[in-house]
Amino acid sequence: MSQIASSSSPFSARRRPLERVIRTSLFVCAAASVLVTVGIIYSLFADTISFFEEVSISSFLTGTTWSPQAGSYGVLELVYGTLIITFGAMLIAGPLGIASAIYLSEYASPRVRNVVKPTLEVLAGIPTVVFGYFALTFITPNLLRSISEGCGIFNWASASIVVGLFILPTVASLSEDAMRAVPRSLRDGAYGLGSTKLRVSLRIVLPAALSGIVASLILGISRAVGETMAVTIAAGATPQITLNPCSSVQTMTAYIVQVAGGEASTGSLQYGSIFALGSTLFLMTLVLNYVSIRFVKRFREAY
C-alpha cells in the first residue's frame, strides 16, 4: 500500500492542494495518539516528582506501612494487596484458562466451540463494577462463608475469584488461538506413532503453543494488576500484609479511587500520592506488556 502511496503522491499532491491538506490532517490524527502518551507521562510524573520532594523515594519504595493520616507512605503494603489478589486470580485463571483452551482447541467439535467460545468471552465484556457486586452478593455470602463462616464481607479471596473469572476468557481465548495455530501435521505425526489425544495435547500442542500461552498469562497478570472496581468493592480498604484470605486488603488502584472520590485538596500530599501510585502502576504494566511482546517474538515457533 505504501509503495503505491509513494509512487503516486508526488504528482497528485502537486496537482491538488486538497490532497496535501487531507494527508496532513490524517497525519495529525495519527500523531494525536502520541500526544495521549505524552499526556499520560506528563500528568503522572509531574505530580509524582513534586510528591517525592516531600516523601523520599526510598521510604516510599521500601516502607511497609501505608498510613497517609500518620504521614507514612510505604507502598509495599498496597503493592502486596495488588500482588496477592493477582496471584489468587492467576491460580484460577491460569489452570482453568489453559484447560479450557485445550478442550476448545483439541476436544470440542466446531459446533460446540462456536457456541462456547463467544459465550465465555461475554464474561470479559461485563463491566468490572458488576463483578464487584457479584463478589459482595454471591461469592462471599454463598461460596466463601460456606467454607469459612467467619469470613469478613470484604476479603481478598472473593476479589481474587472475581478477577480470576474476569481474566479467564482472555487467557482461554488467546491460548486457544495459539494452540489452533499449531499445524495439523505435528498432531498427525504423533497420532501416527500411536499417541492418545491427551498425550498429543500435552506433549505436542502445549509445547508448540507455549509462547502464545505465556503471553496470554502475562496479559492476564497485567489486567489483574490494573483492575480497579472489582477489587475496590470486594477487597475493601484496609491496607495490610496478611495471608488470611478472609481479611480485607487494599490495592494500589483501590486507594487511588478512595482518594480521588473523596475530597483531598489539590496539591496536598495525599493527592500527590495517587499520582505516585499511578506511576508505579503504569511502569509495572508497561514492563509486563513489554515482556509479553518480547516473549511472543523471541519464542514463537515458525512453521
Partner 1 sequence: MALAADRSLAGPSTRAFGDKLARGLFFAATSVGLIALGALLYTVISQGAGQIDMPFIRNFASRIPERAGIWPPLLGTIYLMILVTMVSFPIGVGAAIYLEEFAPRNRFTSAIETNIANLAAVPSIIYGLLGLAVFYRSMGLGRSLITGALTLSLLVLPIVIIAAREALRAVPQSVRLGALALGATQWEAVYKQVLPAAIPGIMTGAILGLSRAIGETAPLLVAGAAAFVAFTPDNLLDAYSALPIQIYDWVRRPQADFQALAAGAILVLLAVLLTMNAIAIVVRNRYGRTR
Which residues inside 131-190 make contact with partner 1, applying CB under 8 A?
Answer: 131-134, 136-138, 165, 168-169, 172
Stretch that binds partner 1, among 55-63, 91-99, 180-188, 238-246 (CB under 8 A): 91-99
Nearer to partner 1, 64 or 191 (CB): 191
Among 285, 296, 300, 301, binds partner 1 (CB under 8 A): 285
Nearer to partner 1, 61 or 112 (CB): 112
Stretch that binds partner 1, among 63-71, 179-187, 224-232, 239-247 (CB under 8 A): 224-232
* Rounded distance between C-alpha atoms, residue 280 and residue 201, angstroms: 39
Nearer to partner 1, 65 or 113 (CB): 113
* Rounded distance between C-alpha atoms, residue 182 and residue 161, angstroms: 31
DSSP type of residue 266 = T
Q: Is 196 in the site for partner 1 (CB under 8 A)?
A: yes
Which bin fits 72, alpha (ψ -120 to 50), beta or left (φ > 0)? beta
- Backbone phi and psi for residue 72, each to the nearest 5 degrees, phi listed first: -110, 115
H-assigned helices in the chain: 2-15, 17-54, 57-62, 76-102, 110-125, 128-134, 145-147, 156-180, 184-192, 197-199, 206-208, 210-226, 229-235, 252-261, 269-299
Residues 236-275 that bind partner 1 (CB under 8 A): 253, 256-257, 260-261, 266, 274-275
Q: Is 1 in the site for partner 1 (CB under 8 A)?
A: yes
- Supply the angle between the helices 269-299 and 252-261 in degrees, to the nearest 10: 140
Residues 54-83 that bind partner 1 (CB under 8 A): none
CB 218 within 8 A of CB 119: no
Nearer to partner 1, 40 or 62 (CB): 40
DSSP type of residue 241 = -
Nearer to partner 1, 62 or 115 (CB): 115
The three cell numbers locating residue 196: 492418545
Give the x/- contact pattern for partner 1 in 24-43, rule: CB under 8 A.
-xxxxxxxxxx-xx-xx-xx
CB of 266 to partner 1, least distance (A): 6
Of 225, 210, 246, 244, the residue nearest 87 (C-alpha): 225
Q: Is 291 in the site for partner 1 (CB under 8 A)?
A: no
Residues 95-124 that bind partner 1 (CB under 8 A): 95-96, 99-100, 102-104, 106-108, 116, 119-120, 122-123
CB 257 within 8 A of CB 250: no
CB of 170 to partner 1, least distance (A): 11
CB of 228 to partner 1, least distance (A): 4
- What separation, in Å, do the N-terminal and C-terminal C-alpha atoms of the chain show? 27
CB of 59 to partner 1, least distance (A): 22
